[in-house]
Chains A and B, each alone.
Chain A
C-alpha cells in the first residue's frame, strides 16, 4: 500500500467513522434510558434528510437553516414516539421492539406518499469541493460531519456528567426504580432521551442528506449499521459507540479499499461476532457516559 493510498484511506475512514458515530449515538442514549431498541431511529434520520430536501432543495432555504429544522423535526418525532409508543409499552421490551418496527413502515409509507416513491430526491451539494490534506481529498460535506460528531458526542458526555438533567438521565438508565424513589420523573426523562436521540438523528440526516441517496427506504439502510455499532460498543455506552464507530469505520474502509466491498461486509460481521463472543456486553457495556 503506497503512502498516498494509506493517507487517503485513513481520511476516508475518519469521515466514515464520524458519520457512523453521529448516527448511532442517539440510538444508544435512547436504549440506555428506555432499555428498548428504537428501530425507527433510522427513520428519524430519514426524516431529517427529507426535511433538508423539502426546505433547502425545494423551498430554497439556506442549507444550515434547513439542517437546524431537521434537528427540530427529529426531536419532535422523538417526543411523539415516546408519548405514543414507548410510554404505553414501558417495560414490555418485545412489544416495544415490534411497535418500533411497525413505525418504520408507517414513516416509510408516509414519506413515500408525500414525496413519491421510486427515484431518489436529488439534493444539491452546498459545498461542491473537497478538503485536501497531505494529498488526501475528502468531500467537504463529509469533513463537516466530523466536528459535528465530536462536538455533539462531547457535548452529550458533558451534559450527562455535569448537568442535573443529565445526571437524572443516567440515574434512570442505571436503576429506574431507585431514580423514581429519588423523585425523578421517569416519563419526563424518557421523553428527554428520545427527544435528544431524535435530534441527533435529525442532525445526522440533515447533514448527510447530500451524501446518501434520499429515498423513503433510507432509514432501513441506516438502522442496521447503527445497531451493529450500538451492540458492539455496548448498549447505552456513548464512549462504546464512539469506539465501535471508529473500529467499523476503519475496518469497512480499509477492507473495501484493499479487497472489495463485499468482503468488507463479511469482515465487519465477523468482527462483530468476535467482539460479542469475547465480551457479550459489548466493548464498554455500561449504561452511563
Chain B
C-alpha cells in the first residue's frame, strides 16, 4: 500500500521537479545563447544580470526620426543598424533590466528627409501612436521643429549636435558624436600638420564652406572660433544652398583665397563627395578637414593618393580601426555588424560599415544606463526621462562607445545635456585606403584655454544659444 502510494505520488513529484529545473535552465540556456561579442556589448550596462530571471515589463518603444532618404540620409540611415544590434542584443536577455523588471525594447522609424515639417509629423506619429520615450535623430531644423512638442511630452530627442541644446529644451540631448568638438579639433589638427607661420612668413589661412542650414551655421561658428584661437586668418566663410548640384564654382571661389586649410565642415555626405572631387580636379594642394568623410564613396571619384596627401582630417572613426584593439567593445560591435549586415550576411546592406552605423546608438546606450540607475529608485516602474537624465548627471563617469563619458554642456549650451567623451580624430591612411584614428583628444581642458576667443566668434555670428530663438 505504501509502495503503491509512493508510486502514485512519484509521477507528480517527478513532473514538478522537471518544471523546477526547466525554468532556470531555460533562463540559463537563453543567456548561454548570447555570443561572447554580445556579452561584451552588454558590458556597458551596469546592472543587466544576464541569465537571471526577472518579471517581464511592458515593451519600451524608441524612435528613429532622421533622414532615411535624400542628401542627408548618410547621417541617418546607417544609424539604424547600430541601434538595432543594441536593441536585439538587449532583448536576447529578456529585455533591459530596470527596477527589477526586464523591459524589451522596440524601435520605430520615420523618414523626416531632414525637413522640419516632416520631422514634426514624424514626432507626432512616434509619440502619439507608438508612445516612444526616446528618439534618435540627426538634429538641426528638425530639432527646432519638434522641440516644443517633445518637451510637452517629455520625450528625449538625441540630436547628433549639441548646438541644438538649449535650456528651454530640457529633453534635447546630444554630444554622442562629438560635434562640434571634433570640428573645433580640426583646426588644432590642421595646425599640427602645417608649417608654422614663422616658417611661411605669413599667417595661416582657413577657408570653410558647408550647406546653409541651422546645424551647419551653428557648428561652423564654433569651428571658426577654434580656428581663430589657433591663429588662423579666416579667408573664406560661406554657405551654399542645400539645392546645390554644381560644386565647381564653390571650390573655385575657395581656392581663389589661397587657403592653407579648407574645411568642408558639416557638408552632407553626398555633398562632401562632390566637393572632394572638385578639390582634386581643380588641384587644391592644402589640408582638408571636415566633420565626416565617407571614403567608400569618395574613392569612386578621386584616387586615394590625393586625400592621403591632404591629410584628410575628420572624426567618426570606424569600429574596425585597429586602434581599438582586437578584443575591444568596438571590435565586438564590428563582428556583430559584419555577421548581420556585412557582405553575404542575412541583412547585407551592400556597403562597408561607416562611422554612422554607431553614431546614434552612442546615446541610446547611456539612456539605457541611466534608466537602470534611475530605476533603482522606482522599483517595478520605468523611470521618467527626468529621472534618467538626473541619474546620468550624477554619475562622474559612464561608459560610451568612444570612451568614458560624463554629462556636460552647461557652459557652451546652457544645459547639462551633452555627453562629454574623448574625441577620436582620424586622418586618411593610404595603406588602408580609409580613415584611421591618429589621436584621441580630451576636449574640456583645451576648450578652457581657448574659450574667450571661441565664445567671441560664436557670439559675433549670432550662434550662441542665448542669441538663437
Which residues of A approach B to under 8 Å, CB–CB? 2, 4-5, 8-9, 12-13, 15-16, 19, 112, 117-120, 122-125, 128-130, 137-139, 142, 210-213, 215-217, 221-222, 252-254, 256-258, 260-262, 264-265
Contact = CB atoms under 8 A, between A and B. Distances in A.
Nearest to B71: A213
Interface string B73-98: 11001100000000000000000000
5 contacts: A16-B248, A117-B73, A253-B248, A260-B239, A261-B240
A125 B301 contact: yes
B245 interface: yes
Given A128-B303, A222-B245, A257-B256, 9 more contacts: A8-B252, A15-B248, A119-B77, A130-B281, A139-B281, A211-B274, A217-B70, A257-B253, A258-B253
B12 interface: no
Interface in B379-420: none
Nearest to A12: B248
B300 A123 contact: yes
Given A252-B246, A265-B241, A137 B212 contact: no
Contacts of B250: 256-257, 261
A264 B247 CA distance: 13
A226 to B, nearest CB: 12
Interface in B34-79: 68-71, 73-74, 77-78
Interface of B: 68-71, 73-74, 77-78, 111, 212, 238-241, 243-246, 248-250, 252-253, 256, 269-271, 273-274, 277-278, 281-283, 296-297, 300-303, 351
B40 to A, nearest CB: 29
A201 to B, nearest CB: 16
A216 to B, nearest CB: 7
Contacts of B297: 120, 122
Nearest to A108: B69
B303 A260 contact: no
B81 to A, nearest CB: 12
Contact of A256 (B249, B277, B303, B351): B249
Contact of A253 (B111, B238, B246): B246
A286 B269 CA distance: 43
Contacts of B283: 130, 137
B270 A213 contact: yes
B343 to A, nearest CB: 15
B252 A12 contact: yes
Contacts of A120: 71, 270, 297
A122 B240 contact: no
A179 B271 CA distance: 49
Contact of B256 (A2, A112, A253): A2
Contacts of B240: 256, 260-262
A5 B254 CA distance: 10
Contacts of B301: 124-125, 128, 210
B302 A130 contact: no
Contacts of A119: 73-74, 77-78, 269, 351
A137 B71 contact: no
Nearest to A123: B300
A80 B399 CA distance: 59
Contacts of B244: 261
Most buried by A among B69, B245, B248, B297: B248
A141 B8 CA distance: 89
A271 B451 CA distance: 45
B69 A118 contact: yes
A256 B253 contact: yes
A19 B248 CA distance: 13
Contacts of B74: 119
B73 A118 contact: yes
A140 to B, nearest CB: 8
A117 B78 CA distance: 12
Contacts of A211: 274
B277 A139 contact: yes
A112 B249 contact: no
Given A118-B69, A257-B252, A260-B238, A130 B246 contact: no
B243 A221 contact: yes
Contact of A16 (B246, B273, B278): B246
Nearest to A262: B241
Nearest to B237: A260
Given A8-B252, A253-B246, A262-B212, A129 B281 contact: yes
A257 B249 contact: yes
Contacts of B300: 122-125
A210 B301 CA distance: 8
Contacts of A13: 249
Contacts of B212: 261-262
A253 B247 CA distance: 9
A71 to B, nearest CB: 22
A215 B270 CA distance: 10
Given A122-B296, A256-B240, A139 B278 contact: yes
B238 A215 contact: no
- A-B CB proximity, top 6 nearest: A261-B240, A256-B249, A213-B270, A130-B281, A118-B77, A117-B69
B241 A261 contact: yes
B79 to A, nearest CB: 11
A2 B252 CA distance: 12
Contacts of A129: 281
A272 to B, nearest CB: 15
A28 B142 CA distance: 38
B74 to A, nearest CB: 6
Given A125-B277, A130-B283, A215-B69, A221 B245 contact: yes
Nearest to B69: A117
Nearest to B306: A128
A253 B248 CA distance: 8
A128 B303 CA distance: 8
Contacts of B239: 260-262
Contacts of B277: 125, 139
A256 B244 CA distance: 10
Contacts of A125: 277, 300-301
A253 B300 CA distance: 25
Nearest to B269: A119
Nearest to A2: B256
Contacts of B273: 122, 213
A265 B248 contact: no
A12 B254 CA distance: 14
B253 A137 contact: no
A265 B243 contact: yes
B441 to A, nearest CB: 29
A269 to B, nearest CB: 12
